Amino acid sequence: MLILLPPSEGKADPPRRGRPVEVDALSTPELGAARRKVADALVASSSLPEAAEILGLSAGQLDELQRNRTLLEQPARPAAEVYTGVLYDALALGTLDPAARRRARAAIRVQSALWGPIKITDRIPSYRLSIGTTLPGIGGLASYWREQLAGVFDEQAGSELIVDCRSSGYAAWRPERTEKLIKVTAVTEKAGRRSVVSHFAKHTRGAVARILLQAPRAPRTPARVAALVAESAQCELTGPGRGGWELTVITDSLGRLAAPS
């Protein structure tokens, strides 16, 4: 099983000491040249007069530019310690039991706008870059990574079940074989009506990933994923379609997983 996650917009503050990122040591080393190209473009773009506009930063976020400028010299640490926010709070990697932690290290791939797919054990610095950014010399990052991952990540994924918990921007790439791809979506139900609330959806995807990591055995089919989630929440499995399977998880008006009926 592979679990695909988006990165968080915010990152934990970098440590004061430590070794910098070793790009060639990141998982899927075939992407090394593609990663260095984005990293170099981000460092250069963060020094431009229009850097804040390029990166979509507000006046209160300009300190992020200095972080980006020193990207390749900053202390790095495991990605599990860098990404924060609603999804990662719900996932709560630090509180998993030893078996679930081992599964997380093997199964999770974070689709970074800077690094492409990485494991949570990969050592990276804190940075600011979203998938919707158009970098000078690179272009749109969603298109860039879709091209770079074609074939490379398909080979790595092989015949694994892929549970896609990414948000839409980070899901530009998808595997060629979709019969074992299951996309997790979340809707909030209130007075019989359903809607998508971004904050709740992030939390739900993190909670689903945690459920799967804690299962006695890793699921091998979309039906088994749905069965595991159904023990904790109301959900609906549909498919397969051209894009694979879809698991819709239902939350109440407060964003809590709706109790299974």
- Helices (H), ranges, the chain: 32-45, 51-55, 63-69, 79-82, 86-91, 98-107, 141-149, 152-157, 198-214, 222-230
Cα–Cα distance measured from residue 173 to residue 171, given in angstroms and rounded to the nearest whole number: 5
Q: What pLDDT is stored for residue 71 in this prediction?
A: 94
Q: What pLDDT is stored for residue 217 in this prediction?
A: 94
| SS3 at position 129 | coil
Q: Which two tokens stand for residue 123?
A: 């050592």
Cα–Cα distance measured from residue 31 to residue 81, given in angstroms and rounded to the nearest whole number: 22
CB 229 within 8 A of CB 182: no
CB 186 within 8 A of CB 205: yes
User: From the CA atom positions of the chain, what is the Rg in Å?
Assistant: 18
Backbone angles phi, psi at 95, to 5 degrees: -105, 5
Mean pLDDT, rounded, for 44-58: 94
Structure confidence by residue, pLDDT tens digits, 58-77 = 888 888 899 999 999 999 99
Residue 115, C-beta contacts closer than 8 angstroms, at least 6 positions apart: 26, 31, 35, 38, 122, 124
Cα–Cα distance measured from residue 129 to residue 208, given in angstroms and rounded to the nearest whole number: 26
Residue 74, C-beta contacts closer than 8 angstroms, at least 6 positions apart: 14, 20, 21, 67, 125, 126
With CA atoms as reference, report the closest residue to 23 among 153, 135, 115.
115
Which of the four pLDDT bands, split at 50, 70 and 90, describes residue 94?
very high
| SS3 at position 240 | strand
Structure confidence by residue, pLDDT tens digits, 201-248 = 999 999 999 999 999 999 999 999 999 999 999 999 998 988 899 999
Structure confidence by residue, pLDDT tens digits, 136-194 = 999 999 999 999 998 787 777 777 899 999 998 898 788 877 888 999 999 998 878 88
Mean pLDDT, rounded, for 85-108: 96
Mean pLDDT, rounded, for 50-60: 90
Q: Which two tokens stand for residue 18?
A: 């430590």
Cα–Cα distance measured from residue 246 to residue 184, given in angstroms and rounded to the nearest whole number: 6
Q: What pLDDT is stored for residue 30 in this prediction?
A: 94
Over 90: is that where the pLDDT of 38 sits?
yes
Domain ranges of the chain: 2-251
* Sign of the CA dihedral with 123 first, then 105, 11, and 184 last: positive
Packing angle of the helix pair 98-107, 198-214 (nearest 10 deg): 110
What does the DSSP 8-state code read for residue 74? S
The pTM of the full predicted model, rounded to 2 decimals, is 0.94
Q: For a pLDDT cut of 70, what percent of the chain falls above it?
A: 100
Instruction: Classify residue 56 as left (phi > 0), alpha (psi -120 to 50) or beta.
Output: left
Other C-beta atoms closer than 10 Å to the C-beta of 104 total 22
Average pLDDT over the chain reads 93
